[in-house]
Structure 1
Amino acid sequence: MKRIRNGLLAAATASGGLFALSAGLIVADGLTDDIRPSDAAVVLGSKANPDGTLSPRLAARTGRALDLYEDGWVQVIIVSGGTGREGVPEGTAMKRWLVARGVPATAIIVDDLGVDTMATARNAAGILRARDLHTAIVVSQYFHISRTRLAFAKQGLPGVGSAHPDWFESRDLYSIAREVPGYAKYLLEQG
């Protein structure tokens, strides 16, 4: 009985250590921006409020893409998201936000069908190819960057750059923990 208990304890300790290491690598990757001249920034969606305004998290992401555009790193911004229970298409809300801050509407491409990370990657890859664009910088929270880059690689766009907003909140701890199995799932799925 003692041998079984010790074996289970060792397995649990190893699993916990692997989980913590994975989470640490995801955080380190996400906090290390990879910004280079690119054709497009791709902003992943998050909550848009019922009145059409952006949640603070989504405003931070969209603001980071605005910085990339204004600093000349990208020529266009792809805003991608779905429609949450609030009833507001996230991509459309992001476009309004960007236009209100001086980005020409012609420099913004809306994808309101980016209902999850893989859908955004699939849709953005199609948009980039259709417009003869080849390079992109993904913009999301730091804990989401690794899985987003993996999703883009699975859609035939390896080596996309990345940028995260300086927006942190307590629920990030939950989100980091969620990203470990999320990344593993994407890693094991077919493209």
Structure 2
Amino acid sequence: MKKLKIILLLLIAWFLIHELFIISDGLLSQPTQSDYAVVFGNRVNPDGSLSERLEARMHKALELYNDSLVAKIFVSGGLGKEGHYEAQKMAEYLLAHQVLASDIVIDDQGNNTWLSAQNFKNSYSDSTSVVLVSQYFHISRCKLSFRKLGFTRISAVSPNYFEWRDFYALFREFFGYYKYWLLY
């Protein structure tokens, strides 16, 4: 019984330490001058507007672009259950905010973090640097995906957008990180 208790306490400690790592990695990450910003998709509302979470990501990508930290923006997201391609709607948002069409790359097949990273690698394997744009709790898994594909100059940034759903997302990211670490 005592061994089981020790194992349980170690597992809880591991979980809590990793959660602190995820939070600090996401909140403290700073963008560096890069070839591309890679923006990971998220929910598009049934009316075709971006969810607040996704709009916050797009606003952060616009900041990078307008501050000349990135030359191009790679938007990645598949067909959502609401019936819209996330990447298409993200591109529309950028176009409406004066980003040149030639500076936007659309990946409609990025149905998850790994596929987004793979699709970027398949198209831009010669790229030397990327800034990953997602919510703070997702940054560590995004970085892991790009590292596994051979990218070495990776920075990241997250928008200042927080919601109650983040508690669930943080819990899920612990398992998502190790799934990606083991399977890909």
TM-score when normalising by structure 2: 0.96
| Mapped pair 1:49 → 2:45 | yes
Residue of structure 2 in register with 1:188 after alignment:
182
Q: CA deviation at 1:69?
A: 0.2
1:23-62 to 2 correspondence within 5 Å?
23-62=19-58
Residue of structure 2 in register with 1:103 after alignment:
99
Higher Cα radius of gyration: 1
| Mapped pair 1:79 → 2:75 | yes
> C-alpha offsets along residues 51-102 of structure 1, whole Å, 9 cap, x if unaligned?
2210000000111000000001000000000111101000000000011011
**1:115 match: secondary structure:** coil
Percent identical pairs in the alignment equals 41
Residue of structure 2 in register with 1:160 after alignment:
154
Give the AA of the match of 1:174: Y
**2:132 match: secondary structure:** strand
Q: Return the structure number with greater strand share.
A: 2
1:132-171 to 2 correspondence within 5 Å?
132-171=126-165
Supply the distance in 1 between the matched residues of 2:157 and 2:97 (Cα, whole angstroms): 20
Residue ranges of structure 2 left out of the alignment (5+ in a row): none
Runs of 4+ in structure 1 deviating by more than 3 angstroms, as ranges, are: none
Residue of structure 1 in register with 2:62 after alignment:
66
Supply the distance in 2 between the matched residues of 1:63 and 1:128 (Cα, whole angstroms): 23
Supply the distance in 2 between the matched residues of 1:139 and 1:177 (Cα, whole angstroms): 20
Q: CA deviation at 1:134?
A: 2.2
Q: CA deviation at 1:142?
A: 0.4
TM-score when normalising by structure 1: 0.93
Tell me, yes or no, if the aligned pair for 2:132 and 2:155 is still in contact at 8 Å. yes
Q: CA deviation at 1:9?
A: 1.8
What RMSD in Å do the two structures reach over aligned CA positions?
A: 1.1
Supply the distance in 2 between the matched residues of 1:157 and 1:82 (Cα, whole angstroms): 23
Tell me, yes or no, if the aligned pair for 1:149 and 1:159 is still in contact at 8 Å. no
Q: CA deviation at 1:112?
A: 0.7
| Mapped pair 1:125 → 2:125 | no
Give the AA of the match of 1:110: I
Q: CA deviation at 1:109?
A: 0.4
Q: CA deviation at 1:133?
A: 2.9
